[in-house]
Amino acid sequence: MRLLKGLIFVFVALLVSPAWAADALLEAAKKEGKVVWYTTLTTEEADLMGKKFHEKYPFIEIDVWRSGSEKMLLKIEAEAQAKRHNVDVIMITGAENEILKRKGLLARYLSPHRRFFPEGFKDKDGYWTDLYINLNVVGYNTRLVQPREIPKTYEDLLAPRWKGKIGMDTKAYEWFASMLKFMGEKKGMEYMKKLGEQNIVFRTGRTLNAEMVAAGEVEIGVALYNQRIEEMKAKGASIDWVGLKPIFAELHPLSVYAYAPHPNAAKLLVDYLLSMEGQKLIASFYRIPSREDVDAIIPHMKRGIEYLVPSLDIVDRYDYYTKLYRQLLMRK
């Protein structure tokens, strides 16, 4: 009897062991032979990650489709409503991902790599783990802005010196909502109204706005991403950045679609992207990997920075924040 119990114990241990689970996932993914990934990475970045994944798992074809978050959200919702379930893995920004979760379009998956990601970078219910973050900072033109003029607080941006010389993205909604929640809505709205009176120059896209700063079309850029600025600096651009508190991070969660046609290959792709190998590849794009034991390609982009992870409950009033953003900042 004791021998029988021992054999049962060993059998159960084998069933739940990480090695057995990994082998079982691999065999199941082989049978599916394909994975479809929707992502907001650039085409070049997504293609390279897809290529590296296929090199590691040559028996799985990977089909990558990329777009901005708003377009992707509409596509996923439309496909789900039509019961055309094409996607397996989704990588989208935090607010849109929360919308998909609330609509029941994400599946729970506890990747074995989740333990390397800090709290706030993984869903407590197991529906997503964050791939990388963007940090909202203030960029400035190093030729036009003297060291003594570099803003030290957000209040400094209200000085007459910056009127007509500030650039911003047309859709920095998450930063805006997070700032209002941090400052308190009344005080935050008063500040944003004053900031809007600085005659901000708006263009769509954080990279484009950083390029405008580097070119001197504007002298300051608000809510830019520090990794893009560092990438441009490395190529000799006249741009640098400063982190004005509070510094808000923007999440890019990675999820398995609830009706994934290739669910096992989807889990394998998620594991690869969250692994040290996948996260180092993310870092090579000048992006900031969310995994704790993988540094950014330029360490000070991530290391030693006190930043806040915004609450995803901003989706409860997302339309309100977008309208207020246009009203107070864009003055529309």
- The 10s digit of each residue's pLDDT in 56-102 is 999 999 999 999 999 999 999 999 999 999 999 999 999 999 999 99
The verdict on 163 and 100 lying in the same domain is no
Mean pLDDT along residues 237-252: 97
The verdict on 111 and 245 lying in the same domain is no
Do the domain assignments include residue 225?
yes
- Overall domain count for the chain: 2
Mean pLDDT along residues 124-140: 97
Residue 19's pLDDT is 63
- pLDDT higher for 51 or 8? 51
| CATH code where residue 129 lies | 3.40.190.10
Residue 9: pLDDT over 90? no
Do the domain assignments include residue 189?
yes
**Confidence tier at 13 by pLDDT (50, 70, 90):** very low
The verdict on 126 and 143 lying in the same domain is no
Residue 14's pLDDT is 42
The verdict on 178 and 223 lying in the same domain is yes
Do the domain assignments include residue 113?
yes
The verdict on 234 and 313 lying in the same domain is yes
Do the domain assignments include residue 51?
yes
Question: pTM for the whole thing?
Answer: 0.89
Residue 2: pLDDT over 90? no
The verdict on 112 and 63 lying in the same domain is yes
Peptide bond between residue 160 and the one before it cis (omega within 30 degrees of 0): no
10 φ, ψ (degrees, to nearest 5): -65, -40
Residue 27: pLDDT over 70? yes
The verdict on 208 and 87 lying in the same domain is no
Do the domain assignments include residue 4?
no
Biggest alpha carbon distance in the chain? 85
The verdict on 220 and 146 lying in the same domain is yes
Residue 174, CA distances (Å) to 67, 181, 234 in order:
18, 11, 28
Counting residues of the chain whose pLDDT is more than 70, the rounded percentage is: 94
Residue 52's pLDDT is 98
Give CA–CA dist 207/126, Å, rounded: 32
Residue 18: pLDDT over 70? no
Residue 20's pLDDT is 64
Residue 10's pLDDT is 38
The verdict on 311 and 322 lying in the same domain is yes
The verdict on 165 and 311 lying in the same domain is yes
Q: Which domain holds residue 220?
A: 134-249+307-328
**Confidence tier at 11 by pLDDT (50, 70, 90):** very low
- 211: closest CA among 167, 160, 247? 167
Residue 318, CA distances (Å) to 181, 182, 299 in order:
13, 16, 33
The verdict on 150 and 241 lying in the same domain is yes
Residue 332's pLDDT is 85
Do the domain assignments include residue 3?
no
Mean pLDDT of the chain: 93
Residue 8's pLDDT is 46
Do the domain assignments include residue 294?
yes
The verdict on 18 and 167 lying in the same domain is no
Residue 17's pLDDT is 52
Do the domain assignments include residue 2?
no
